[in-house]
Structure 1
Amino acid sequence: MPDFTLETGYGGRVAGVDEAGCGPLAGPVVAAAVVFGAGVPDDLASIIDDSKAIKPTRREAIARRLTSVPGIEIGIGAASVAEILRLNILRAAHLAMRRAVNRLPTPPSLALVDGNKAPALEVPVRTLVGGDAISLSIAAASILAKVTRDRIMVRLDLRWPGYGWARNAGYGTAAHRTAITTQGCTPHHRRDFGTVRKQLALTIAHGDSV
């Protein structure tokens, strides 16, 4: 389980930063930044973990708690599919992180970022591989980023049914890949990603509209 050791050891206002959505075939990449300005309540610290290790209903409950406890500062940022295509997924994720940090009420004195590549932020950055399993701030950010992105994909699923986005969040499940093949691509598909790129190539080869 992650803990608050790094944040306490630094002594300043530390933001945990993480993203969700680098791997899917569709949808934006979303990042969150979290500052526990007054520390972490024990009961909240005991349930925060890497978002990938938590079931969706529990992630939702933790996200609601994070947004309701006084003293917790949150910033959310995203990069669109168009920005992903223009910048590449890593740079788009870093853009989303920068937007998330910039949307905090007050700039932090340090950003702890999950991963091994530092985004260009306006504050000092420390990267942590597997940071969502080490730092409570990063783990909280991972939960908020994941929950926010999942909610976006549920809304998009209503407008573009048939791809299963409410269930697969845009990831390349077998059903999603089949839907791309049978229904084609939407404006929310990442056109330079694997299955999507192959489908576009087949569509163009057959002279169909893309």
Structure 2
Amino acid sequence: MKKKNSMPIDMLHFEQQLWKQGFSRVMGLDEVGRGCLAGPVVAAGVILPDDFNCAGITDSKQIPTHALRCQVAERIRKEAVFYAVKECSPQEIDTHNILQASFLAMQKCVEAADPTPDFLLVDGNRFTASLIPYECVVKGDTRSASIAAASILAKVYRDELMYSMHQLYPWYGWDTNVGYPTRTHYAGLEACGISPLHRRSFRLRTDKVLTTAPRNGYES
């Protein structure tokens, strides 16, 4: 039985509809790291030009390697009308909760833009109250070029941050899990305890606090 042919997704469909309505600074917003045990939650906001080439732009998780994501991210940074990458620390996550911290990181991206965006396309099914009109797009990183571009920039930034933090706190396997809950990560927590980069409000399976000094004398 032959498979039905599926039409390719028009990754600029949402943006084009908004441009036709007169919006000129449509910002796509996405975040990464919500499910991690350690490290910040990172958001990115991207405003694309109307002649942007969408080749290779998709959900960051569907791009197979970090090196390829870096290449695409470099093109986005060069061609975007505007982009920003912002984060909320583990301490902000513990204070506000992970959902609100994700919204806060996105809002930081919006506030960094000058002029202000006139419409927001937000990945997911909900967003915080905003004076700027917005639309939530479920699985937006596979349906909207500006959201996908934001997901790529956010993931590249956060992964590289966690790779560098692995050099300082090598016990948790952040060079491979980038802070997500894995067997290696939990084993490191059990053996060494909670680092300053861990989210205390998350289920870490231990109350032990890290007493070993970070490498290179680093202190958070």
Q: Same fold (TM over 0.5)?
A: yes
Please report how far the alpha carbon of residue 105 of structure 1 lies from its aligned counterpart in structure 2 after TM superposition: 3.4
8 Å contact kept, 1:31–1:97: yes
Please report how far the alpha carbon of residue 119 of structure 1 lies from its aligned counterpart in structure 2 after TM superposition: 2.4
Decide which of 107, 128, 136 is 2:137's aligned counterpart: 128
Task: Letter of the 1:151 partner, please give it.
Answer: E
- Structure-2 residue corresponding to 1:155: 164
User: Could you say what the CA RMSD is over the residues aligned between the two structures, in angstroms?
Assistant: 1.8
Q: Distance in 2 between matches of 1:191 and 1:183?
A: 15
Decide which of 64, 68, 77 is 2:78's aligned counterpart: 68
Q: String of CA shifts for 1:71-130, please: whole Å, max 9, x gaps.
A: 531011110000000000000000000001111232111000001111234421111111
- Structure-1 residue corresponding to 2:217: none
Decide which of 70, 85, 94 is 1:85's aligned counterpart: 94
1:8 aligns with 2:24: no
Q: Distance in 1 between matches of 2:128 and 2:82?
A: 20
8 Å contact kept, 1:2–1:132: no
8 Å contact kept, 1:111–1:124: yes
Change (3 A) 1:2 1:182: farther
- Structure-1 residue corresponding to 2:68: 58
- Structure-1 residue corresponding to 2:5: none
Q: TM-score, normalised by structure 2?
A: 0.85
8 Å contact kept, 1:76–1:103: no
SS across alignment from 1:108: coil
Q: Distance in 1 between matches of 2:141 and 2:166?
A: 28
1:24 aligns with 2:24: no
Decide which of 62, 80, 96 is 2:105's aligned counterpart: 96
1:199 aligns with 2:209: no
- Structure-2 residue corresponding to 1:35: 47
Which stretch shifts more, 1-10 or 89-98? 1-10
Structure 1 runs (4+) deviating above 6 angstroms are none
Q: How many residues align?
A: 199
Q: Percent identity between the aligned chains?
A: 39
Change (3 A) 1:87 1:128: same
Change (3 A) 1:109 1:160: same
Q: String of CA shifts for 1:52-88, please: whole Å, max 9, x gaps.
A: 111222111111111122x531011110000000000
1:114 aligns with 2:126: no
Please report how far the alpha carbon of residue 189 of structure 1 lies from its aligned counterpart in structure 2 after TM superposition: 0.6
- Unmatched runs of 5 consecutive residues or more in structure 2: 1-8, 212-220
Output aligned runs, 1:149-188, within 5 Å. Answer: 149-188=158-197
Task: Letter of the 1:75 partner, please give it.
Answer: A
